[in-house]
Structure 1
Amino acid sequence: MESRLRTILLFALGMLSCVPAGALDRDLTLTQFNHRTWDQRDLAPTGVESFAQMSDGTFWLGGRDGLSAFDGNRFDPLRAVEGQNLPSTKIAALLAASGGRLWVGYKSGGASLIKDGHLTNFTANEGLPEGCVHTLAQDHDRAIWAATDGGLARFDGTRWQQVPLGNGAPVLRVFVSREGTVWAVTANAVFARAHGESDFALAFEREYPGSARGMAQAPDGMLWLSEQDHGVVLFDPLRRDIKPRRLFANRQIDSLLIDRDGTLWMTGDRLQRVVLPTDGSIAGDLPVQEFDQPQGLSGHLTGGLFEDREGIVWAGTTSGIDALNRGNVVKLPLPVLEGTEKTLIAGDAGQIWVSSSRGALLQIDTDGQRSQIHASSFTAGTRTAQGAIWFGGPTGIARLLDGRLHPTPLPDEAAGHDVNAMTADRGGVLWISVDGKGMFRFKDGHWLEGLPANLPSEPALAAVADDRGDLWFGYRDDRLARITGDRVQLFTAADGLATGTSTVLHAKGTDLWVAGEKALMHFDGTKFRKLVPITCQPFVGIAGMAAVGDDLWVFRSTGISRIDSWSQYRGGSGDAQVTCKTYSAFDGLNGSPQDRRPALIRGTDDRLWIATGNGISWIDPLRIVPNPLAPLLTIKTVSYDDTYRHPVQGMELPPGTTDVQIRYAAWSMTVPERVLFRYRLDGLSKDWRLTSGERRAEYTNLGPGHYRFQLQAANEDHVWNEVGATIHFVILPKFYQTWWFRGLCVLAFVVLLLVLTRIQVRSANARLRARLEERMLERERIARELHDTLLQGLQGLILRFQSVAARIPAQEPSRAMMEKVLERADDVMIESRDRVKDLRSFNGGSGDLAQDIAATGRDLLIDARTQVRVAAHGAPRDLHPIVREEAFLVAREALTNAARHAKANGIEVDVFYDRAALRVVIRDDGNGIDPLILRAGGRDGHWGLLGMRERAKKMRAHMNIWSRVGAGTEVELRVPAGLAYRTPVRHSRWFPIPDHRAAADTRDLESTKES
C-alpha cells in the first residue's frame, strides 16, 4: 500500500501551455481527476493494450506480459487454466461477453474462451482466420465477431465462420454501435451490417489508408474513428450517404474512448482529453488537454483505453497502468504557492485571499481566475462580522479594501514578531496576538491601551469570535478564555478541558469546538465533551475546522474528515462517539497540512479551502458525489494442504482436511484500499468477521461436515453488497469420522456396558450365593454341634434320670413327679431335634414351593370363608434352600395378612419359574391397605410388612406391594434367577431367550373353599 500511496498523483488539467490560463470553460478548467498509477513496484503488468470487466466485476488486463486479473489490491497473472496453458502470452484483444465468458485474442493468431474455469482454444482448424486478432466484439444477438489479419469472422457457438468482406483485406477493427449495427474497418474502407441483415455494405472509403485502432460512439450517436497520424473522423451512422468529418488532423491518435460523461479520451504520443459539446454541435477542433510522463503518467502509452463500471478511465503504459477518476478534492494549479506557508481568508462571493510566506497575496475566484498583489509576509488574518478583511505579520497589520492593502505598523514593543492569531469583536475592536509579546487591541487607526482583568498576559495561540459576539482565546496547558463584554471567564482542566495546547478554535451558533495536541472537544455553553471517532483516525494534530450545515469538517495529517449530522450528538454526557468519513490522498488530497494554523477555512459559498505544503485545494461539501455502486464480489480459490482449486458449489475436500484458506476479490476501483469485507462460515460460526485490506479468510482445525462461506463487501462510502458471494463445500470424513463408525463405537460401548453390567450382576449374585452358602454351612455346623453336644448330652441326662426314676418306688410321690419331668424332657428333646433338622434344611413339607404355600393356605384358612387358588407356571426348579425358605415366609405373611386383616373372599397365588427370575405373586380382593400405612411400612406395633421387605432385601430380591382401599392388594416378590435356582439357567449369550416350554407348563395346585 505504501508504494501505491507513493504513486498517487493529482492532475490539474488547466495547466497546459497549449491553452492559456483562464481560456477554458469552467467545467474543463475545474474538473479534477484523481490519478493513480500501478507500476512494477506493485508487480503490475506492462504494455497493457486491452481491458475487460466481467459481469461479476472481474477486471482483466492483457498485453505483452500476458493475461492478469486485478482487484485493486493485487495482480494475479493467469498462465494456465486447470493445467492447460494459454496458447500465447502476447495478447491483443479482450472481450467480456455475456454468460460469464472471457474471450482472448492473441497477436500471433488464435483465440481462447475461458468460462467456468474451463479453457477452449480456437485456431484455423476451427475456422478462425489466421493472423493477429485485433479486436473482438459481441452483437445484439450475442454473436462474437473477430477482426483479424486474415479477415472478419463470426462465431456460431461451435465454429468460426469467415465473413467475406471487400477483397479479403485484413480487418483492423470491429465495433457494434448502440443501434446494433456491426462495423468493420479495413485498411481502405469501413463496412456496416445493420441489425437483422445478413450482408455487409460499404459505408465509405477511407481517405488515408492505414491503421485504425480506436472506434467509439458519442452520446449524440456520432461514431468516432481514429486514423493514427491523421487525427480522427466522425460520422453519423444513421445517414445513408455517410460523409465523414476530420478533426485533429495533425495529431497522432492511436486509440480512443468516449466515457459516460461524453468526454473524449485519446492516446498517441501522450494522453489527450476533449470535453465534447452536450448539444452535439462541433464547429471545429475542440480544446485538447494533454499530459505525459512529466505530469505523472507511469510510462509511454501503449494504446489501451477502457472505462469500468464505476466510470474510471484506465490506460496502459510501458511501465504499468494508470487510472483517472473524477475526484471530490480539487487542487489549484498555483506553483507560486507551492512549498510556502499560507494564510487563508474568505472573501466575498466565494472568493478567497491567500497570503504566502514569500510576500505574495493572491485573490482566487470561484472559476479559478486569480489576481496577485505584492505584499509583506503575513502570518495571520481574519474576516470580521462586518466583512472587513485584515492580515497581520511581523511588519504590522493591514486591511484589504477595494483591492488594496492599507497597512498599520505594530506597536514598537511587538515589531518584528509574528502574529499568532487575529479576531474582532462586534464593536470593531481588532484583537491581535503577537508571538512572545502578548495581546494587543486596535480600533479606528489607533492602538488601545490595557487589557481586561484576568485575561492571561501571554499571547494566545488561537482566536475566534462566536455568533453572539463573545471572543475566545486558546492557550497552552488546557486553558481557554472567553470575553463577554468586559467580563473574562477562564476555563481549565478543572472545567473538563483536556486538549493540551489549544491550537485551533471554531465557533458556529452556540457551539464551540476546541482542537489541541491531545483531543478535539465541543463546548455547548455548559460543559466540554471529547469527540471520539469510531470510523476514522483519532482527532489529534488538527490543523483546521469548519462547520457546513449540520456537518463538522476536521483537517489533520490523515486527511479531511466529515462528522455527519453534528446535532445528533449535542446535549449528551460523557465522550461523544462520532462517525466520520475521511478524504485523503486516495481522493485527491495532495499533501499534509501546513504548519501555519488554520489550514482549513470555509468560504462564503460553503466551499472548503485547504492549505497543504504542496499548494491549495478545495472541496465542495454540497456537491460531493458518492459512489453508489456496491463492490462486486468473487470467490477466487479454495485451498487446502497447498492445493488450490477453482471454487465449485458443493465441492468436496479430501478426508483429513483441517485447514482451509479462501481467497476472494472485490471490484471497487474508486478507492480499493477502503473496501470493507465481512464474512462468516456457517457450520463453524454464525458471527460475521469484519476486515479490510486482506482478501483471504483462513480457518484451522475444521472437522468433516458441510460448510457455507458467505462474503459481503462495502465500498468507500459504505454501500454494502449484501447479496455477496457464497460457496458451499464439504470436508469428507475419514473412516473413523463417519456416522456409521461412530454408531458402531456407540453400539460397541453399549454392548461392552451390558457385558460389564452382566458380569457385575453375576459377580454380585455369586457373592450373595456365597453368603447364602456360608449361612447354610453355618446352620449345618450349628446343627451338628447341637446334635453332637447338646442333644447327645441331653439324651444322656434323660437316660440317667430314667435310671434314677426306676429305682424310686412307684408309690412315692417323687417318682410321679420325676416321670412327669422326664416326659417333658422327651418333648423338649423331640422339639430340639426338629429345630436342628430345620437348621440343616427348610422343612416346608414337600420341597415344592407352590405346594408348600398351598398347604400353608389350608392351615391358615380353616375357619375362613375364603377361596384360595395356588398355581405354578413353568417347569419347577430346584431352589436354593434359603431362598425357598424366605420366599415361603414372605408368602405365608401375605396370606396371613389377607386372611386376618383384609377380609378377602378370594386369594390367588402364582409362582413363576421364569428364566430371568423366580416370581411369587399374591393377590386378594380384600379391603386393601391405606396408602399412609403402606408408605409408613405398616401399623404401629405390627411388623408384617416390614418383615416381608427385610426378607426380600436380605436376599437382594425386589418386592412390590400395590394396594388401594376397597380394591384389594397385590404383592410381588422377584428373586433373580442367579440367586434363586440351584442349577444355572441356560440362556442366550447376549439376550435372554423365552422358555416357551416352561411358560406353557401351568398347574393349578389348589382351588378350595373351606367352610
Structure 2
Amino acid sequence: MTISHSIRLCFLMFWVSCTAWAADPGRYLSQYAHSSWTIQDGSFSGIPFAITQTKDGYLWIGTESGLVRFDGVRFVPWVEPEGKHLPQPSIYSLLGATDGSLWIGTGHGIARWANGELTTYASVVGRVNSIQEDDSGTIWMVRTRLSGQIGVLCGIKGSKVQCYGPSDGLPCANGANDLTLDQRGNHWIGGSEALCCWRPDSSSTYLQNDLKTTAGLIGVSAVAIGDDGVVWLGIPRAGKKFGLRRLIDGVATSYAVRGMDGATLSVNSLFLDRNKALWVGTVGQGIYRVYNGEADHFGSSDGLSSDAVQHFYQDKEGDVWVVTSKGIDRFRNLPAKTFSLREGLTADSVGSVLATRDGALWIGNQGGLDILRHGTFAKMSSHDGLPGQDVTALLEDHGGRVWIGVDGSLAVYDHYRFRLVKREDGGAVGVIVAMAEDAAHDIWASYTGVAGNPPGLLRIRDLKVIENISFPPDGGALTLASDHETGIWLGLRNGGVERYRGGHFESVAKSGDGPEDAVANLLVDPDGSLWGATDHGLIWWKGDRAATLNSRNGLPCDSVYSLIRDNLGSLWLSTRCGFITIPASEVSRWQEQPEGAVKIRLFDMFDGAQTAHTSFHPSVSRTVDARLWFANDSFVQMIDPSHLETNNLPPPVHIEQVMADRKNYSPTDEARLPALTRDLEIDYTALSFVVPGKVRFRYKLEGRDTDWQEPGTRRQALYSDLRPGKYRFQVIACNNDGVWNEEGAVLNFSIAPMWYQTAWFRILCLASIMVIGWILYRIRVRQVAKAIGARFDERLAERTRMARELHDTFLQTIQGSKFVVDDGLEEPLNAEKMHRALGQVSGWLDQAIQEGRAALNSLRSSTTLKNELAPALRRVAESGVVPEGMTISASVIGDARELHPIVRDELYRIGHQAIQNAKAHSHGRSLEIALIYGHDLTLHVRDNGVGIDPGYVMSGREDHHGLQGMRERATRIQGQLTILSSAESGTDISVVVPGRLSFLYPGTGIFSRIRNLYRRAIRNHDPL
C-alpha cells in the first residue's frame, strides 16, 4: 500500500469518527412507509385541498367538488342531507373539533356537520382558508375574497358568530391564508400583506414592508409555531426575504440546513409533527422534512402524488398525511428501517453486516465496503486500498482488527492498512463465506472452491494459514461459530452440525439429508447450547437433547435465515415471512417443554420487513446501541428493540351500511327490515390507518350465531338464512399490533314476519291442530264405539238368527217327532201303529240332522242357490207331515231374477216359517205359495184355515218365536211383513221387499246395468 493510500485512509477514518452529529437513522423519508391515492386512481373526484380526522376516527378530505370520507380502505362521497346544502361545493379547509363535529370551510362560507345535522352560518362569507379550535372550544377561521373592509378573522361559539377587523385592532384586513394558535392565546395570521399576531388586548405586524413591495404575492401562505416559541413562515416565492423563514424575537430570517436552503423554496404549507420535525410543503418542489438540523427531500420522482403540496395533517396514530394537487399521501414510521442505495449505500447487493465494538457498522457490498458511523455512510473501495471489489464475509477479532473476505481473497484491516492472507503455496484462499475466532484466538475461515479446488476450512494464526481442511465437492461449512471452551462449530451445507477440535470432527446432530436441510446460521448461547437456522425451523441442541422450533410451535413459517439475541436475551429471527422476536422467558419455557407453543411478535412486510437469504456471514449483527442489523442480499434493514413503537389505540368500529335484498337501510339502532328478507349484507369498518390491511375483525349475530365469527380482514357480514325476529349484531376489531376494541359497534334490528309467520298465526295453527285432533279423536272414538257396537250387534243378530233357525227348523222337527212318539205311546200294544210311528220319528230325526247341518252351513254360505227360492219353498211345503186333504200349489209370477243372497235367505226362512205354521195350525184344505217378480219382490203364503188368534198376530204366543222371527227377518232386509187373518178366510202372510235391495240386475239395458253396478257397489257396504 502506498503512502498516499495510507494518508487517504487515515483521513477517511478520522472524518468518519469525528462526524458524530446526532442524526436519527430514521430521518430519511424513504425509510417511512409511503402510500398514495390519486385522482387518476379514481379514489375521489376533484383536486383535494384539506384533510382532517373527526373524533369518531374517520378521515375527511375536502376537494373542489365536495367532501369525501375515508376509512383507510374505502372512499365514500359525503351526501348532503335532504333539504340542506353546503355554501359551496369547493372545500378549502376542514377541522375535526373536540366535540366530534366536523367544520367545513368552503369557497363561500362555513358549515358544521354533527349528528347527521348540517348547520350553515350565513353571516360568514368569503373563502375560508384555515380553521382552528382554542382551549375553550371556540372555532376560529380566517378567510379571503372579501368585499369591503370586514373582518378576516371570525370566531364561533355555539350559535354566536363574531368577526374581527381593523376596528378591533386586527391589522390584516385584506384577507388571510393561514391561522395558528400558540400556547399563550395569540392568533398568528398569515395575511396577504403581512404576518399578524393578534389577541383582543394586543396586536403585532411582521414582514409588512417586505411583502407590500413585491407585486404578485399572496402574502404569508403558512404559519407553524414550535414549543420553543419559534414561528416558522412560508411564503410562496423564492428569495432572500421569502421562501421558508424563521421568526425569533420578532426578527424574521432565512433558514437553511444541510440538504435544504429555505430561500430557494416556494413554500405553500408548514407542519410540525409530534416528533418536532418540520414538514415543508412547496408549490412545485415536493416535501422537505427538517429534523435535528438536517433536511430530507421527497418528491414526485420518489413516488409523491405531486410536487405541489397543499396541506399536512397528522392523525391520532401518528401517520402524517400530505395533500397535493393530484391526491393524498401517507407517511408512516416503520419498525424495520431500510438502508439502501437511496440512503447512501454503494450498491444494493449487501451480503454481510458486522457491528464493531467502536459502534460502527461494516457492510459487505458489491463494489466496495460501506461503513455506517453515527448515521453517516463512508465508502472503501479499491481506490482506498481494498484488495478487490466485492466484499463477502466479515469478522472482528479480539484485537479490533477487521477480517474481510473480498473477491477470492482474505484481507485484514489493521491500523488503516489492508493486509492479504495467503496460503503457504501462495495461492488464493477462495471465496470466504464465513469466519470465526476460537478461544485460542485462531481465525477460522470457510471458503468455497475456486479453479476446480474443493471447498475447505482454513485455520489462521499470526496472519498465516496453519491448517487447510478440504471437504467433498458437495459439502463444506455455510456458517461458523466459536465454542466457548475449545474448537469451532460448523453448520454444514449437506445438513447437520459438526464440531472440530483437536484435529478431529465430531458430529453433533443431523438436521436432514439434503441441501434443503442445510444449517445456514449458528448461534452459541453462554450456557453452551447451540441454535441452528434451517429451512425446516430453528434447531436447538444442548448436550444429548435436541428439539426443533417451527410452525408447530407457533412460528408463522419454517424457513429461518439467521438469528441473534438482543440485549434483553430475546431471540430475533430473520425468516421467510419477516422478522420474529421471541421473549427470553418464552425461549426458556420452550426449552423445558419443546412440544409447547411460544408467543411471538411478527414484523412482516407491512412493518417494512424485507427478508431474504444471504450467502455470507455475518448476516445479522448487533451494534453497541442495541440495534439489530440484517443483510438480505440487497440492502440492510435495522430494528431497534429498545424503541419499538406499539399502536395502543384500539380502532373505532363503525357499522356503515345495511343492505337487505339489494336495498339500502340506515344503520340506525332498531332498524326494521321487511318480511321475507333473504340476503342481508352488513358493512362495517375499523378506523386504524397505520396498516389497514392488518386490521382484523370478529362479529356475532345474537339470535343466529352461537359464537364469534372470524372473517379476518373482511369488512362485510353476509346472511341468507335469517328468520323473522329480533337480532343484535356486534362487531369488534383489533389494530395492526393486535390491540382489540372489545366494545366495538352494535346494531339492533328486526325482520318483520309475514302473516303466516306471526305468533298469533302459530297460536291459531296450534289451536286448530288441537281442535282438529280433538275432533279426529272423537270421530275415532265413535268409530271404535260403533265398531264395537256393530260387533256386539252382529253377535246378537247371529244369536238371534241361530235362535230363529233352531226354532223354525230343528226345534219344530223335534217337536213334531215328540208328537209322533206321544201318539204311538197312546197304544203301546198296537205294533203296527208303533212301527209306523217309529218309522215317522226316524224320518223326522233324519230331517232334524239335515236341518242342523243346514243351519251350520248357513254360517258359511247361503241356504238356497241363486234363483231356486220358489222350488225350495215348494219342497218345504211338500216335505214332512202334510195334513190329510190339504192341497199345495206354488207359482212364480214375472221373470225370475238373481236375488241378493241375504234377501233370498231371509225370504226363504220367512216362507219356511209361514208354511210350517199353515201346515201345523191352519187346519185348512189348501196352501198357496206365490213368488211375484215385479218392481219389488213379493212373497205370499196363503191358506184357507181357521186363521190366527188376533191376540197372537202382533206378539205371538208365549214361548213361541215364529211370528217374532218373521218380523225380525223382514226388518233386516227392509221388507214389509203383512199378516191378514180371519176365521172365515184363513191367513194370508205377505212380504214385500224393495227391488233395489232384492235384485242384483233389475234391468237388461246398458243404463240399467250401469245403475245396477253402482247399486251393487253401494250394497256391498250396506249394513245388510
TM-score for the superposition, normalised by structure 1: 0.69
- One of 350, 368, 378 as aligned partner of 2:376: 368
Q: Distance in 1 between the 2:550 and 2:611 partners?
A: 25
Instruction: Kindly indicate whether the alpha-carbon contact (under 8 Å) linking 2:579 and 2:611 is maintained by their aligned counterparts in 1.
Output: no
Aligned: 1:31 with 2:27: yes
SS at match of 1:26: coil
Q: Judging changes above 3 Å, is the alpha-carbon distance between structure 1 residues 204 and 473 closer, same or farther for their aligned structure 2 residues?
A: same
1:218 is matched with which residue: 211, 226, 237?
A: 226
Change (3 A) 1:262 1:54: same
Q: Which whole-Å deviations, capped at 9, do the CAs of 1:6-42 have from their partners, x for residues lacking one? A: xxxxxxxxxxxxxx99878414565355141213375
Q: Does residue 1:356 correspond to 2:365, yes or no?
A: yes
Q: Letter of the aligned partner of 1:142 in structure 2?
A: G
8 A Cα contact 1:504 1:544, kept in partner: yes
In 2, distance between residues paired with 1:494 and 1:304? 57
How far residue 309 of structure 1 moved from its aligned partner, in angstroms, is: 0.8
1:128 is aligned to 123
Q: 1:263 aligns with which of 260, 270, 277?
A: 277
CA drift of 1:778 comes to: 0.9
Structure 1 residue 387, shift from structure 2 partner:
5.6
1:497-536 residue pairs with structure 2 within 5 A? 500-509=517-526, 510-525=528-543, 526-532=545-551
Shift of 1:493: 4.9
Mapped to 1, the partners of 2:369 and 2:658 lie a distance apart of 61
In 2, Cα distance between the equivalents of 1:650 and 1:186?
A: 51
Alpha-carbon distance in structure 2 between the residues aligned to 1:501 and 1:675: 37
Q: Equivalent of 1:443, from 454, 458, 461?
A: 461
Number of the residue aligned with 2:987: none
The one-letter amino acid paired with 2:689 is: M
| Contact 2:178–2:191, Cα closer than 8 Å, also in 1 | yes
Work out the CA distance in 1 between the residues paired with 2:418 and 2:625: 24
> Aligned ranges for residues 303-702 of structure 1 at < 5 Å?
303-332=310-339, 335-358=344-367, 360-368=368-376, 370=378, 372=380, 373-375=384-386, 376=388, 377-384=390-397, 389-410=402-423, 412=425, 415=428, 417-436=430-449, 437=454, 438-449=456-467, 458-491=475-508, 493=510, 500-509=517-526, 510-525=528-543, 526-532=545-551, 537-540=556-559, 542=561, 545-546=564-565, 548-565=567-584, 566-572=586-592, 577-589=597-609, 594-702=614-722
- Tell me the CA shift for residue 721 of structure 1: 1.7
Alignment-derived partner of residue 308 in structure 2: 301
What CA deviation, in whole Å up to 9, does each residue of 1:99-144 have, x standing for no partner? 432222222x1334333344x263xxx5233321212333444343
Q: Given that residues 59 and 70 in structure 1 are in contact (C-alpha distance below 8 angstroms), is that contact kept between their aligned partners in structure 2? A: yes
Question: In structure 2, the residue corresponding to 1:350 is in which secondary structure?
Answer: coil
Counterpart in 1 of 2:143? 148
After TM superposition, the structure 1 = structure 2 runs for residues 47-66 of structure 1, keeping only pairs within 5 Å, are 47-64=47-64, 66=66
Cα separation, 2, equivalents of 1:232 and 1:444: 59
Deviations 1:423-469 (A, max 9, x none): 232223332222132233222343334759x9999422222224344
One-letter identity of the residue aligned with 1:113: R
Shift of 1:781: 0.8
User: What is the SS of the residue equivalent to 1:751?
Assistant: helix
Query: Where does residue 981 of structure 2 map in the other structure?
Result: none
Give the aligned residue type for 1:307. Q
Amino acid of the structure 1 residue aligned with 2:37: D
Mapped to 2, the partners of 1:560 and 1:42 lie a distance apart of: 32
Distance 1:225 1:675 in 2: 39
Please give the secondary structure, in 2, of the residue aligned with 1:324.
strand
Q: CA deviation at 1:619?
A: 1.9
| CA distance in structure 2 between the partners assigned to 1:368 and 1:593 by the alignment | 26
Residue 459 of structure 1 aligns with an amino acid whose one-letter code is G
What's the C-alpha RMSD, in Å, of the aligned pairs? 3.8
What is the SS of the residue equivalent to 2:647?
Answer: coil
Judge conservation of contact 2:422–2:428 (CA < 8 Å) in 1. yes
Amino acid at match of 1:652: R
Q: Cα gap change, 1:641/1:413 in structure 2, threshold over 3 Å: closer, same or farther?
A: farther
Q: TM-score, normalised by structure 2?
A: 0.68
After TM superposition, the structure 1 = structure 2 runs for residues 70-89 of structure 1, keeping only pairs within 5 Å, are: 70-81=70-81, 88-89=88-89
1:170 matched to 2:175? The reply is yes
Task: Tell me the distance in 2 between the aligned counterparts of 1:205 and 1:788.
Answer: 148
User: C-alpha separation between the residues in 1 aligned to 2:710 and 2:424?
Assistant: 60
Stretches of structure 2 lacking an aligned partner (at least 5 in a row): 1-15, 213-217, 256-261, 830-1024
Matched with 1:852 is: none
Q: In structure 2, do the counterparts of structure 1 residues 261 and 602 end up closer, same or farther at CA, with 3 Å as the change threshold?
A: closer
Are residues 450 and 295 of structure 1, via their aligned partners in 2, closer, same or farther at CA, if it must alter by over 3 Å?
A: closer
Instruction: Show the counterpart of 1:1006.
Output: none
Tell me, in whole angstroms, the C-alpha distance in 1 between the residues paired with 2:18 and 2:282.
26
Question: Between the two proteins, what is the percent identity of the paired residues?
Answer: 26
Q: Tell me, which stretches of 5 or more residues in structure 1 are unaligned?
A: 1-19, 237-241, 277-285, 810-1011
Deviates more, 1:736-745 or 1:440-449: 440-449
**Larger displacement relative to structure 2 (733-742 or 376-385):** 376-385
Give the distance between the partners of 2:640 and 2:430, measured in 1 at CA.
Answer: 35
Aligned runs of 1:784-803 on 2, under 5 Å?
784-803=804-823
Aligned equivalents of 1:21, 1:291: Cα separation in 2:
29
TM superposition shift of 1:661: 1.7
Contact 1:499 1:519 in 2 (8 A): no
Task: Give the Cα separation in 2 of the matches to 1:79 and 1:21.
Answer: 61
The alpha-carbon deviation at position 763 of structure 1 amounts to: 1.9
Q: Which residue identity lines up with residue 559 of structure 2 in the other structure? A: V
Describe the SS at the equivalent of 2:358.
Answer: helix
Distance verdict in 2 for CA 1:408–1:191, change over 3 Å:
closer
Q: Which amino acid aligns with 1:460?
A: A
- CA gap 1:602/1:94 in 2 versus in 1, 3 angstroms: same
Deviation at 1:98, TM superposition (A): 3.8
Higher radius of gyration, 1 or 2: 2
Number of aligned residue pairs: give it.
768
Cα distance in 2, alignment partners of residues 708 and 266 from structure 1:
49
Relative contact order, CA 8 A, sep 6+: which one is greater?
1
The 3 A distance-change label for structure 1 pair 93 and 488 is: same
Where in structure 2 are the equivalents of 1:705-744 lying within 5 Å? 705-744=725-764
Distance change (3 Å), C-alpha of 1:657 and 1:183: farther
- Equivalent pair of 1:382/1:423 in contact (CA under 8 Å): yes
Contact 2:480 2:488 in 1 (8 A): yes
Is residue 546–residue 601 contact of structure 1 (8 Å, CA) maintained in 2?
A: no
CA distance in structure 2 between the partners assigned to 1:721 and 1:710 by the alignment: 12
CA contact (8 A) 2:351 2:615 kept: no
1:379, distance to aligned residue in structure 2 (A): 2.1
| Amino acid corresponding to residue 770 of structure 1 in structure 2 | A
